[in-house]
Structure 1
Amino acid sequence: MKYSPIDSSLFIKNRKNFGSKMKPNSLAVFNSNDIYPISADSTLPFQQHRDIFYLSGVDQEESILVIFPDCPKEKHREILFLKETNEHIAVWEGEKLTKEKAFEVSGIKTVYWLQDMERIMFELMTQCDTVYINTNEHYRANVEVETREDRYTKWLKQKYPAHNVAKSAPILQHLRSVKDTIEIDLIQKACNITEKGFKRILNFVKPGVWEYEIEAEYIHEFIKNKSKGFAYTPIVASGNNANVLHYIENNKQCKAGDLLLMDVGAEYANYSSDMTRTIPVSGKFSERQKAVYNAVLRVKNEATKMLVPGTLWEAYHIEVGKIMTSELLGLGLLDKADVQNENPDWPAYKKYLMHGTSHHMGLDTHDYGILTEPMQENMVFTVEPAIYIPAEGFGIRIEDDVVIQKSGAPINLMKNIPIEVDEIEDLMN
């Protein structure tokens, strides 16, 4: 891995927290992701399943984690099953985890090779009553392929049909949504790399450059700073492309007078950053562009103040909508009649801001979190209001990542990334 070693105390603590939420005499199983094929002998780059990484720090394929807090054998209360490494694999694929290295990474003493998995699992299953399976229950999940986790679950339930089955997802939704200080430091590193990328392109963007050239500048800076690359598919949208919320083609030329919306973020050690900035291609905002930009920035600043312990996600968005409505009235994009006659289920401001203002962030860009429960200290959220005006040929979105504090305003992990109009114009010129 490119990233520096992570203190194994994080993973030891995460497993302890997970185990404390399990039913008596139960075990939980977590699998690595597959390496997904493209065609012939080509594959996509490996991306570790975030749950096994969160609980073990293991960042390679064909790995299985078992947690069994009440196991009669103390050495079997935490187990890793790994793909056995050898000289041939080391030559062709690079070094894999040894048992000693796996302990160093995870803090797990008991490590077996995968060929021993069925034999050891038989022993464990005779000693437990309930098995926790790991299903993807994220509110935005849309999965059509069968994952390695799915196949393992199918095998386990078929081989041991008499066991009770429980779900890991509800436990992980709570645990992963509140970040450890080590995790916050890792997210901060990802944000710092994103900052370097953004400052790099401020000196690069000018009329005539292509969106994909800007994307290339970002990836250069990200990899140069020990990131694997983008935390999610980057959006580099000039002119009216910014009004397509998930524009990812990045294949148009930037024109003089256009605004350029960039929703990009570096990953670091599997942790995400998520930034949006909108800048003038020519290095200077028009008066109208500046007015809309500052309106979005005011909404972002006011929304950020509301991210405190106890805030409810749905109520927060209602309040942000009121602030946005006021700004849209000031810009002449709405009038009083629009607001008086609005549909409560789709308020008038939604014509110009169709998406939410904040989401959980961490190992996943849209991270785990229960949206019906109050916000807590050390949750990490994005703040990303926007105004999209296709009739005027531009859209503006501004986004930072913040950590909720016990009291007071949240900490902005992107506070050093230029955001004010004057600051951006000065750096571009």
Structure 2
Amino acid sequence: MSPFAARRARLAASMEPGALAVLATAPEVARNSDSDYPYRHDSYFYYLTSFTEPESVLVMVAASGATPARSILFCREKNVEREIWDGFRYGPSAARETFGFDEAYPIGELDAQMARLLADVPALYYALAHNPSLDAQVAGWLKAVRAQSRAGVAAPARTHHLLALLDEMRLVKDESEQALMLRAATISGAAHLRAMRAARPGMFEYELEAELLYEFRRNGAQFPAYTPIVASGDKACVLHYSANNAQMLDGDLVLIDAGCEFDSYAADITRTFPVNGRFSDAQKVLYELVLRAQDAALRAIVPGRPYSDVHEAALKVLAEGMLDVGLLDKAKYGSVDNVLAERAYTPFYMHGTGHWLGLDVHDTGSYRDLGIEGKPSRPLVPGMALTVEPGIYVRPAPGVPEHFWNIGIRIEDDVIVGEAGARVLSGSAPKTVREIETLMAER
């Protein structure tokens, strides 16, 4: 529990002396009738507690003078009868001891305890406008405290957005987080490998999706980190395609964007490969262009360099390649600088080259340095985790060489910023033309 206790201590130290923070986990959500969707805890809550039961609330009280900081958990009571139906519950006493909280109470006591805990507290930190149910509860707690004003009890004078503090904390991953992310990426890489080995012309996209999900679960991953994309042929030009129901044809490329969640941490990997095991000449030209763009982006991941350099490095290579292969008219644009200035690349590349990664597949944290006037792109620091995912998507259009039509390619890896540069977590999934064709020839 030491990483979680250390995070709680860091949060308390960043709060006003004597202030109180409250953070609820995610609610259970009904799917239909008396069946719920598979439960997944709130990422912020898990980051501070590692506690995964629903109906749970964390309260942090910052140190003040000689009074130390405290962490308080509210959770479901121990209930042997309900455990017969729903499984094990810790209950407040065992949860306090197991997870290292200073105090723990039944969730049913939350309202009464909060009216007491908020009395004479200088400031309240909570997730403003994040959870309507909690917003209503907070309003009720404050009303209860204000009702005691004649007895000399004061309500918090200030409120702060708790998630802004946690976003910055979550942006840099500690060693325990990096180890979990490596495991998630390793499992996900094995799933992509399995899909390449299984692919055959005539199969349906959902058959490859089943191979991915099987590999995730058999290696201990609890969930896919997001809905997998298995997009063959022209469907690969749809960025968030999710139907996964088309038949894969001889000569198609298939783009698979899929990653698992392992112990709450996400992987996010994309590989694009030929269903029949051999790239056509046109497919190979564009694929190797995207691969060069990714290599340029990976080399831009250096501590101290702006985050935006990663995208700009990939973009420059892609723009130059689009001119060279005829996707963009050299006579019209003339140079890479003109392509970039006019954003002429956007019909073929319309998204960024990556995003933060962690407990959420699109993880928290600002991409800009909010502490500097003008908010420039923030510098990379060791421990940040991000994806690097350039792509190229060619839809039929006048002036676009026909042999490139309906080719969609994306190559994505998971990366930790290291002291010397990028540490790729997902390298087990083949991605060069030679690696892919060699692997698929052995099927």
TM exceeding 0.5: yes
> Is 2:216 the counterpart of 1:183?
no
The corresponding residue for 1:415 is 427
Residue 261 of structure 1: SS of its match in structure 2?
strand
Residue of 121, 130, 140 corresponding to 1:155: 140
Residue of 384, 387, 412 corresponding to 2:389: 384
Residue 356 of structure 1: SS of its match in structure 2?
coil
Residues 134-183 of structure 1: per-residue CA shift (max 9 Å, x gap): 1478xxxxxxxx55444434434444464221111221111000001100
Residue of 409, 417, 433 corresponding to 1:404: 417
The two structures have a TM-score, normalised by structure 1, of 0.91
Gaps of 5+ in 2: 147-154, 369-377, 397-404
Q: CA RMSD for the aligned pairs?
A: 2.1
Query: More deviation in 346-355 or 79-88?
Result: 346-355
Query: More deviation in 171-180 or 343-352?
Result: 343-352
> Is 2:300 the counterpart of 1:306?
yes
Residue of 322, 333, 336 corresponding to 1:338: 333
Kindly state the Cα deviation for residue 217 of structure 1 after the two structures are TM-superposed.
1.1
Q: Is the 8 A contact 1:32 1:61 kept in 2?
A: yes
Give the letter aligned to residue 277 of structure 1: R
Give the letter aligned to residue 114 of structure 1: I
Kindly state the Cα deviation for residue 109 of structure 1 after the two structures are TM-superposed.
3.4
When residues 121 and 241 of structure 1 are mapped into structure 2, their CA distance, relative to the original with a 3 A threshold, is same
Kindly state the Cα deviation for residue 104 of structure 1 after the two structures are TM-superposed.
5.4
Q: Is the 8 A contact 1:34 1:147 kept in 2?
A: no
Residues 261-297 of structure 1: per-residue CA shift (max 9 Å, x gap): 0000000011100000001001111111111111101
Query: More deviation in 174-183 or 100-109?
Result: 100-109
Q: 2-side partners of 1:319 and 1:423: how far apart?
A: 24
When residues 174 and 411 of structure 1 are mapped into structure 2, their CA distance, relative to the original with a 3 A threshold, is same
Give the letter aligned to residue 353 of structure 1: Y
Q: 2-side partners of 1:416 and 1:314: how far apart?
A: 26
The corresponding residue for 1:288 is 282
Kindly state the Cα deviation for residue 319 of structure 1 after the two structures are TM-superposed.
3.6
The two structures have a TM-score, normalised by structure 2, of 0.88
Residue identity (%): 35
Residue of 208, 217, 224 corresponding to 2:211: 217
Q: Is the 8 A contact 1:33 1:149 kept in 2?
A: no
Q: Is the 8 A contact 1:32 1:149 kept in 2?
A: no
Residue of 189, 194, 216 corresponding to 1:195: 189
Q: 2-side partners of 1:72 and 1:165: how far apart?
A: 21
The corresponding residue for 2:220 is 226
**Structure showing greater Rg:** 2
Q: 2-side partners of 1:202 and 1:297: how far apart?
A: 18
Q: 1-side partners of 2:81 and 2:323: how far apart?
A: 67
Residue 131 of structure 1: SS of its match in structure 2?
strand
> Is 2:79 the counterpart of 1:86?
yes
Residue 362 of structure 1: SS of its match in structure 2?
coil
Query: More deviation in 412-421 or 39-48?
Result: 39-48
Give the letter aligned to residue 17 of structure 1: R
> Is 2:361 the counterpart of 1:365?
yes
The corresponding residue for 2:151 is none
Q: Residues 122-161 of structure 1: matches in 2 within 5 Å?
A: 122-135=115-128, 147-160=132-145
Q: Is the 8 A contact 1:300 1:385 kept in 2?
A: yes
Q: Residues 312-331 of structure 1: matches in 2 within 5 Å?
A: 312-331=306-325
When residues 44 and 270 of structure 1 are mapped into structure 2, their CA distance, relative to the original with a 3 A threshold, is same
> Is 2:437 the counterpart of 1:425?
yes
Query: More deviation in 176-185 or 216-225?
Result: 216-225
Q: Is the 8 A contact 1:272 1:363 kept in 2?
A: yes
- Aligned length in residues: 413
Give the letter aligned to residue 28 of structure 1: A
Q: 2-side partners of 1:426 and 1:136: how far apart?
A: 52
The corresponding residue for 1:206 is 200
Kindly state the Cα deviation for residue 112 of structure 1 after the two structures are TM-superposed.
1.1
Gaps of 5+ in 1: 1-7, 138-145
Q: Is the 8 A contact 2:296 2:313 kept in 1?
A: no
